[in-house]
């Protein structure tokens, strides 16, 4: 599943981690969906209408989401490590993913702000989850790291002004973003995954 980002952007979904019905092992099925549709219509699962998000609100939404994850990660570590089904990420694994999404999107945002129409380096979320041993990380540490990554990204978006919102960047699968559409695209991922673990719609 190398280079799955060609067809799998960073947003895992319930489908992305629930596609192995009948599988006897704990293999996570790579996301094969292009989640840029979240900019076109509301998400029927988490309820977010990302296309309607006010760009200046994204920084605050990132911080609020991070607070939600802090509450999740304060729970029982054994429960946090438990996968609801073998092929679905545990709450801890989702939290690790969101932390890394915040980090990745800060890198991509800065690329767009500093370079002309950059091409984003690939990121395979499923390979990362395995390579970084998400399921073995310490929830208390992840909580701190997620909060830090969220604050860095929120502050980066707060620093965006004027014509910077129209700067562009490209994913290797051909998806093209402006900083503005990127902000709306980004915010769906952590909100959707908080819904995945709490069941609370946006």
Which residues of this chain interact with Zn ion, rule CB under 5 A? 43, 45-46, 192
User: CB of 84 within 8 A of CB of 94?
Assistant: no
Beta-bridged to residue 168, according to DSSP, are 178
Instruction: Pick between residue 43 and residue 179 the one whose CB is nearest to Zn ion.
Output: 43
Q: What is the smallest separation between the CB atom of 185 and Zn ion, expressed in angstroms?
A: 12
Q: How many CB atoms lie within 10 A of CB 130?
A: 13
| Nearest residue to Zn ion, scored by beta-carbon proximity | 43
Compute the distance between CA of residue 196 and CA of residue 147 in angstroms, rounded to an integer.
19
Give me the least distance between CB of 68 and Zn ion, in Å please: 14
Instruction: CB nearer to Zn ion: give 97 or 167.
Output: 97
Cβ proximity to Zn ion, 115 vs 198, nearer residue:
198
Task: Tell me the closest approach of the beta carbon of residue 168 to Zn ion, in angstroms.
Answer: 25
**Shorter beta-carbon distance to Zn ion: residue 12 or 137:** 12
Nearest CA to 4 among 36, 29, 31? 31
Distance CA 189, CA 187 (A): 6
């Amino acid at each position: 599943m190398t280079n799955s980002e060609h067809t799998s952007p960073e947003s895992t979904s319930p489908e992305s981690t629930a596609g192995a019905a009948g599988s006897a092992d704990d293999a996570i099925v790579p996301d094969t969906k292009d989640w840029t549709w979240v900019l076109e219509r509301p998400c029927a699962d988490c309820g977010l209408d990302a296309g309607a998000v006010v760009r200046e609100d994204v920084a605050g939404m990132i911080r609020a989401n991070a607070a939600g994850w802090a509450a999740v990660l304060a729970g029982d570590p054994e429960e946090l490590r438990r996968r609801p089904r073998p092929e679905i990420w545990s709450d801890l694994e989702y939290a690790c993913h969101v932390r890394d999404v915040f980090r990745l999107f800060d890198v991509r945002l800065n690329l767009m702000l500093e370079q002309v129409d950059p091409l984003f380096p690939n990121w395979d979320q499923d390979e990362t989850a395995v390579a970084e041993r998400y399921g073995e990380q310490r929830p208390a540490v992840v909580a701190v790291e997620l909060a830090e990554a969220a604050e860095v990204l929120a502050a980066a978006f707060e620093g965006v002004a004027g014509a910077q919102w129209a700067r562009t960047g490209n994913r290797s699968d051909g998806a093209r973003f402006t900083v503005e559409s990127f902000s709306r695209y980004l915010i769906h991922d952590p909100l959707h995954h908080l819904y995945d673990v709490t069941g609370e719609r946006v």
